[in-house]
């Protein structure tokens, strides 16, 4: 085989390789991993999204929630529905279907009668809300920067079906690379 025929063979395969790469990238983005910018400061200090700061970019893994629902403590990206803004949002799951949530006992959110430990909180406004039981197929979510977060206290429950995936890794800026 001559070098001329080798280069012709490469150029014949190039369109196939390009189409394959695009299809694989779309499949991965649709079903496995996707990146998101943090849109606000509601998850500060865990995730930066404040005005004037370099907003974090996170990798969201989509496979886990194809087989199970989110757990309390998970940081999830979801599509806003109902009273939520019609955009992608990121919050921490506080309670899932069947759990009761209320505020506050000694300044702590209470789930199923027990105050939860939240070492990730940045600022907590201790804003009271009615005791609620999370319905089937729903989540109660809150931001880590409670005084700067519009969350389930304001917008109600989040349907599990609207969850895009589990935020797993901060990838940008490089100085903030970290597992979530």
Q: Which residues of 94-133 are buried (b: 16+ CB within 10 A; e: fewer)?
A: bbbeeeebbbeeeebbbbeeeeeeeeebbebeeeebeebe
Which candidate in 40, 62, 91, 152 is catalytic?
A: 91
Strand 108-111: give its sheet, edge to edge: 114-115, 108-111, 100-105, 132-133
Please say if 42 is a catalytic residue: yes
β-strand pairing of 114-115 with 108-111: antiparallel
Query: What whole-number distance in Å separates Cα of residue 60 and Cα of residue 6?
Result: 41
**Of the listed 3, 7, 12, 42, which one is catalytic?**
42
Nearest-angstrom CA–CA distance, 116 and 124? 13
Question: What gap in Å lies between CA 173 and CA 89, rounded to an integer?
Answer: 19
The answer to whether residue 3 is catalytic is no
**Closest by Cα among 53, 57, 81 to 141:** 81
Active-site residue list: 42, 91
């Amino acid at each position: 085989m001559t070098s001329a025929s080798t280069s012709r063979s490469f150029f014949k395969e190039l369109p196939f390789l390009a189409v394959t790469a695009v299809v694989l990238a779309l499949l991965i983005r649709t079903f496995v991993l996707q990146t998101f910018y943090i849109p606000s400061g509601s998850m500060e200090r865990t995730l930066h999204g404040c005005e004037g700061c370099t907003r974090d970019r996170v990798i969201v893994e989509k496979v886990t929630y194809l087989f199970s629902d989110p757990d309390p403590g998970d940081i999830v990206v979801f599509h806003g529905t109902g009273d939520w803004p019609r955009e992608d949002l990121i919050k921490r799951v506080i309670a899932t279907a069947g759990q009761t949530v209320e505020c506050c006992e000694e300044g702590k959110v209470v789930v199923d009668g027990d105050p939860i430990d939240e070492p990730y909180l940045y600022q907590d406004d201790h804003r009271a809300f009615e005791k609620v039981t999370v319905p089937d197929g729903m989540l109660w979510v809150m931001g880590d920067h409670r005084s700067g977060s519009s969350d389930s206290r304001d917008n109600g429950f989040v349907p599990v079906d609207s969850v895009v995936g589990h935020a797993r890794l901060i990838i940008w800026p490089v100085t903030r690379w970290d597992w979530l």
